[in-house]
Amino acid sequence: MILSRKIIFILIPVIAILDLFIFYQIWRLPKKVSAGPPKEIKVAGKVKVKYPQDFTIVMVGDSMTEYLGNSDEIRANLKKYYPDKSVEVLNYGFGSTNILSLQERLEKKTFFNREFRPILDIDFDLILIESFGNNPLSQFPLSEGLQKQNEALDKIVESIKSGNPRAKIAFVATIAPNKWKYGEGTVTLNPEQKSQWVTERVAYIKNHMEYAKTHGIPLIDVFDKSVDKNGDGNLIYLNAADYIHPSPSGVVFISQIIADSIFQQKIF
């Protein structure tokens, strides 16, 4: 254990340098070019907002999704697979929110630094639902919380299918947490508490994954691809400011897997 911690301390400055390089590469990506404003259309008698791009993707989640920002990296990766298509990505990632908040985002105007229209008022082609696993329902015992997560997902999926029948739904399992470093820099936890927090969060992420599998929903599995040989979240993908959110390398990693999975699973 002592040796592994020494390795972690050696890796931290290396990862920081790599993150600076990755951040610069992201900054150099082509920025989104406006194809004009969205327009109102009628779909099954209901007025919806239609974006002019060929594909409109809505990403929804907590701050793990929020960190993906304006999604230039996702668009750049999708362009490799769909060179003749334009893509709009709408980020509905709201920090410090859990799965129980998603229904409101679907149906009502919401406010997170700015106003967001109801998701179901948008004529989107694909919605990516992230696990919200880093904001578990800790007010409930674990088994009850996981049941409430499933019940919320039942209602969410049904609302999307009835509100936008042609849209595709995919679930996203975010990067894995690291039980040795979780929350450092933002919250004081002893090793036992870190392990407990990570165990709870992993339970919600894995339950999200299992729901997708049992309901025939495409799963974009970042989680399993982000673990190290010990089963912990690989530090290269975690922000050294808090070891919760994605680092610049993590943003690149998540964005690549999202684009790869959309193409490989023929979601479009």
Q: What pLDDT sits at residue 60? A: 99
Structural domain for 34, as ranges:
2-264
Q: What pLDDT sits at residue 41? A: 87
Instruction: Please write the tens of the pLDDT for every residue from 107-139.
Output: 999 999 999 999 999 999 999 999 999 999 999
The tally of domains found in the chain comes to: 1
DSSP secondary structure string for all residues of the chain:
-HHHHHHHHHHHHHHHHHHHHHHHHHHTSPPPPP----EEEEETTEEEEE-SSSEEEEEEESHHHHTTTT-HHHHHHHHHH-TT--EEEEEEE-TT--GGGHHHHHHS-EESSSEE--GGGB--SEEEEE--TTS--TTS-HHHHHHHHHHHHHHHHHHHHHHSTT-EEEEEE-PPP-TTTTTTTTS---HHHHHHHHHHHHHHHHHHHHHHHHTT--EEE-TGGGB-TTSSBPGGGB-TTTSSSBPHHHHHHHHHHHHHHHHHTT--
Q: What pLDDT sits at residue 255? A: 98
> pLDDT (tens digit, 0 to 9) for every residue of the chain, 268 residues total?
554 555 555 656 655 565 655 555 555 555 555 668 889 888 877 889 999 999 999 999 999 999 999 999 999 999 999 999 999 999 999 999 999 999 999 999 999 999 999 999 999 999 999 999 999 999 999 999 999 999 999 999 999 999 999 999 999 999 999 999 999 999 999 999 999 999 999 999 999 999 999 999 999 999 999 999 999 999 999 999 999 999 999 999 999 999 999 999 999 9
Q: 252: domain CATH number?
A: 3.40.50.1110
Instruction: Please write the tens of the pLDDT for every residue from 253-264.
Output: 999 999 999 999
Q: What pLDDT sits at residue 217? A: 99
Q: What pLDDT sits at residue 218? A: 99
